[in-house]
């Protein structure tokens, strides 16, 4: 029988759990046992957490964390938190496959910058969260660990590339999770699993890169069951690092502060389907539009508006930059025949497109990115936030590689069905996915709150007010219990 105290522990949000551990209301060992029990019971149905570490060893770490508290020593904000890290980042001593058979047996020898910060904050690493191969695609399946199922229907996809992370958080198999986002990977999975996910501005969370000077399209972020939980995580992950010269220097402690704020008079533009330029499956836009009423309830003014811009041109510019960056990262494997044979077709396609690009086309795409940012900057002189859907489809059969049609239109790439996430990606503006509700089949979707440049705190504040008014996560937990 399920233990009521254990269930109470895993039901706590990250902020409340941190306070309970520091106040010694619960022990780190109790927390670890509660989460491990839930993982062993639920994870076999969804395959969200992979490379799970030995129970006995994890409990010893948790007992060690309790000993630190007993001695009265200072502890970090995530002290005693069981965390699985997305399998795109190395955690010393844990598997580091990146979802690729090339690295099926690799064990990480070092921690990334992000993991170093999590470790210093007191996290206990229990395993990794599942991803698509090399993080390519918004559906988490790979030949090393298999596919991740949805928290609301394990036969459907959990999304990607932070799919394992979102499913693990939604099912309370960990209190909060890290993630990363290039084309919706911190927005699509939370939308598919009725939770929250933040894509921050570039430079907010420093990360290793071959080129640390050029603003990339991919960023690190977090997934939680409330915006406050994400704020706690961001307070740990954000902050300057000299290895990343353009990292944002703002004190990250502000993200862990109370998020309450008066939103009367706040102006929101609903972009919807971008003036009919982006297709959606039936019902998705309807759920998103219905969620707008919650913003009105908290005092916001919402109107449908869209800046004048060709979304196909923006998409084509993004395709160039995507192929350019993927080719740079994966070319060493592509050039080695035995490794190329192990790459999924979508990865090979990206590399070959990237290698065929000329400098003029890459520069033109970078200039297009700047034009789009400037268009939004001017447009947002009349609005405090933009809101748009987080996905164009509801969670689909996890046996599919990707949806081939959306709204009756054929998808010409493996990621075209996530085109709605590209406007935020190409702008560099922060975007917070919030739950929007459920479709006719009982599957969730979400909407993105897009804030001003470096406006992550503003996104979290509006998200917190929206969460308090809508209560989607607490009212509609996943059926797997």
Q: Which of 86, 128, 156, 344 is catalytic?
A: 86
Residue whose tokens read 């309450």: 260
Residues in the chain, how many? 481
Q: Which of 27, 185, 390, 427 is catalytic?
A: 185
Residue 373 to residues 172, 182, 415, 452, 470, Cα–Cα distance (Å): 37, 16, 22, 11, 31
**DSSP string for 157-225:** B--SSSHHHHHHHHTTSSS-EEEEESSSTTTHHHHHTTSEEEE--TTSS----S-SSSPPS-EEEEEES
Half-sphere exposure of 422 (CA within 13 A, CB side): 27
d(CA 437, CA 128): 28
Q: Is 427 assigned a catalytic role?
A: no
CA R_g for the chain: 21
Strands 124-129 and 82-86: parallel
Element containing residue 31 per DSSP (H, E): helix 28-46
Those residues whose C-beta lies under 8 Å from the C-beta of residue 112, and which sit 6 or more positions away, are 89, 90, 91, 207, 208
d(CA 399, CA 139): 10
d(CA 79, CA 203): 25
Q: Which of 161, 162, 235, 390 is catalytic?
A: 161
Tokens of 434: 């919030």
Tokens of 80: 């005693």
Q: Is 185 assigned a catalytic role?
A: yes
- What residues are labeled active site? 86, 161, 185
């Amino acid at each position: 029988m399920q233990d009521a105290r254990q269930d109470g522990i895993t039901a706590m949000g990250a902020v409340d759990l941190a306070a309970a551990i520091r106040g010694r209301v619960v022990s780190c060992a109790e927390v670890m046992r509660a989460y491990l029990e839930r993982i062993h019971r639920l994870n076999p149905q969804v395959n969200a957490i992979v490379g799970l570490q030995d129970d006995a060893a994890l409990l010893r770490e948790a007992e060690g964390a309790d000993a630190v508290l007993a001695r009265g020593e200072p502890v970090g904000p995530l002290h005693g938190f069981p965390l699985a890290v997305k399998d795109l980042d190395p955690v010393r001593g844990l598997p580091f496959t990146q979802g690729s058979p090339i690295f099926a047996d690799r064990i990480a020898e070092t921690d990334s910058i992000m993991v170093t910060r999590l470790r210093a904050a007191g996290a206990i690493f229990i395993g990794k969260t599942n991803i698509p191969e090399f993080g390519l695609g918004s559906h988490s399946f790979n030949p090393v660990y298999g596919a991740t199922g949805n928290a609301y229907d394990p036969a459907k996809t959990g999304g990607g590339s932070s799919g394992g992370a979102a499913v693990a958080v939604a099912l309370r198999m960990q209190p909060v999770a890290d993630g990363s986002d290039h084309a919706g990977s911190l927005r699509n999975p939370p939308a598919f699993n009725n939770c929250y996910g933040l894509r921050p501005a570039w430079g907010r969370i420093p990360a290793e890169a071959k080129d640390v000077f050029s603003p990339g399209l991919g960023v690190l972020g977090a997934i939680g069951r409330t915006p406050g939980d994400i704020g706690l995580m961001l307070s740990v992950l954000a902050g300057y690092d000299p290895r990343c010269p353009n990292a944002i220097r703002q004190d990250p402690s502000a993200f862990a502060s109370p998020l309450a704020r008066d939103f009367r008079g706040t102006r929101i533009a609903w972009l919807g389907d971008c003036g009919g330029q982006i297709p959606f499956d039936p019902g998705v836009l309807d759920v998103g539009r219905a969620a707008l009423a919650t913003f009105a309830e908290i005092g916001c003014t919402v109107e449908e508006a869209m800046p004048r811009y060709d979304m196909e041109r923006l998409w084509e510019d993004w395709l160039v930059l995507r192929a350019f960056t993927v080719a740079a990262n994966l070319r060493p494997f592509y050039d080695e025949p035995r490794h190329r044979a192990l790459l999924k077709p979508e990865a090979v396609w990206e590399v070959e497109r990237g290698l065929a690009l000329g400098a003029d086309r890459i520069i033109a795409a970078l200039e297009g990115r700047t034009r789009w940012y400037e268009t939004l900057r001017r447009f947002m002189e009349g609005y405090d936030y933009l809101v748009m859907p987080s996905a164009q489809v509801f969670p689909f059969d996890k046996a599919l590689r990707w949806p081939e049609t959306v709204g009756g239109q054929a998808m010409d790439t493996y990621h075209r069905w996530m085109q709605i996430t590209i406007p935020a990606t190409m702008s560099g503006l922060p975007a917070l996915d919030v739950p929007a509700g459920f479709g006719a089949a009982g599957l969730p979707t979400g909407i993105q709150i897009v804030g001003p440049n470096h406006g992550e705190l503003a996104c979290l504040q509006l998200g917190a007010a929206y969460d308090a008014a809508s209560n989607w996560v607490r009212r509609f937990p996943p059926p797997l219990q």
